[in-house]
Homo-oligomer: A and B are copies of this chain.
Amino acid sequence: MSESAPSSLSHYSAPLRRFGASLLVRYVAIGAGLIAMTVLTVPEARSASGLWLQALLWCCFAYFAIDCGLRLRSAWRLGAARHYLLSAPGVIDILGVLPVPIALGFGAPAETAWLLASLWVLKLAQNSPGFAQLGRVFVLEARPLASVLVLFLIALFLASAAMHVIEREGQPTAFGTLPASLWWAVVTLTTTGYGDEVPLTNLGHLLGAAVMICGIATFGLWTGILATGFAAESRRRNFIQTWDVVSKVPFFKTLDPTAITEITHTLRRIELPPRTAVIRRGKIGDCMYFIAAGEVQVDVAPTPVLLGAGTFFGELALLGDQVRTADVVTTKQSTLLVLDLADFRELMAHHTELAGAIEAEAERRLGDIKRRRELHLHGGAPSP
């Protein structure tokens, strides 16, 4: 579901886009709403500008309500209303709309009811594809992570029971009950260390030191497991994403399968909005770009050249000449594949045909530019 969620979000949000809501407006609404809700809980601010804050909150609310309503309608028309309401984006949309009016309806004071607007923070996660990746890390490493949690629980209970026995005489408030002692153990094992409950006896100090060192050891394991899992998942995700794009670039089809697999591992996918500079003239370059989708404009004299999906540029940086000779700017939302100099040189050692292919293509394109320039010089008339 996590993989289909983002796509369904963009699907149902089509009507809203006509309504004029870009991603930026959305983030502004989330930010403004959260800040207004936060300020509303301060009594001085409430008495000074409470009405303005509530007006702002109602505006954000209206925006989210219309957004949710339009998506629901568009899902309804596709016969997928139930699927939308049960999907993660749907639940987040509903959680952003229903709770505040319900709380106000039950007679809660405004500043308390608007606290439920803190659920709007969940909308930040709605458009982020990175969560599926983080989630997979936890799933892949579930077993060792669970073992670390069990270690944590064991240390927690044994330490707090022992500390309760050691310190309950001297500090009946802080360690007199096991719940209080557990609170100390959590605060210490996580190395948060508020200092509201501190052992005072020598034995308590020894146990406390042991608990802190346990905490650090546990945390080190936890981090080590997540690092291992993330490294594996990162490699996998990059391969999958790049492969889908590589298969759309005709240039790679001329290579043999082993070379394609190797190049897929080394390519990095970047998504660029329109009118973004990819290469600046005169800068030192260390990578070349393949266009998987979209279009870029190369500012060469006399007229700029447009390169579409399936072509590449910046290859001179890999073939010897490191200073960029022209500005390159995207004209549409584009997906580019970046091939680093380091990776290119490694690929070259095993697949010499790659450089040949890139050089041939580069020459072909240079010839193309020359011909166009000649055409331009001769006033547009075909040269005899």
Q: Shortest Cβ distance from A103 into chain B, in angstroms?
A: 11
In the complex this chain forms, how many copies of it are found?
Answer: 4
Could you list which residues of chain A lie within 8 angstroms of chain B, going by C-beta atoms?
Answer: 1, 3-4, 34, 37-43, 112, 115-116, 118-119, 121-122, 124-125, 128-131, 133-134, 137, 140, 143-144, 146-148, 150-151, 153-154, 156-158, 160-161, 164-165, 176-179, 182-183, 186-188, 190-196, 198, 202, 205, 208-209, 212-213, 215-217, 219-231, 234, 236, 239-240, 243, 257-258, 260-261, 264, 268, 283-284, 286, 340-343, 345-346, 348-350, 352
28 residue pairs from A and B, CB less than 8 Å apart: A1-B283, A34-B157, A39-B179, A41-B177, A41-B179, A42-B179, A115-B164, A115-B178, A116-B161, A119-B158, A121-B156, A131-B150, A133-B144, A134-B151, A144-B234, A179-B202, A190-B216, A193-B195, A194-B198, A216-B222, A220-B222, A220-B223, A223-B223, A225-B234, A228-B230, A236-B342, A257-B352, A260-B349
Whether the Cβ atoms of A191 and B194 lie closer than 8 Å is no
Contact A164 B284 (CB under 8 A): no
Q: Are B224 and A257 in contact (CB under 8 A)?
A: no
Whose C-beta in chain B lies nearest to the C-beta of A132?
B147
Residue of B nearest to A152 (CB): B213
Closest Cβ–Cβ distance, residue A273 to chain B (whole Å): 15
In Å, the complex CA distance between A38 and B196 comes to 20
Cβ-defined contact, B239 with A342, below 8 A: yes
Given contacts A128-B147, A194-B195, A222-B220, contact A158 B121 (CB under 8 A): yes
Residues from chain B with Cβ under 8 Å of A343 in the complex? 236
How far does the Cβ of A140 sit from chain B's closest Cβ, in whole Å?
7
Listed from nearest, the 3 A-B pairs whose CB atoms lie closest are: A130-B147, A224-B227, A192-B193
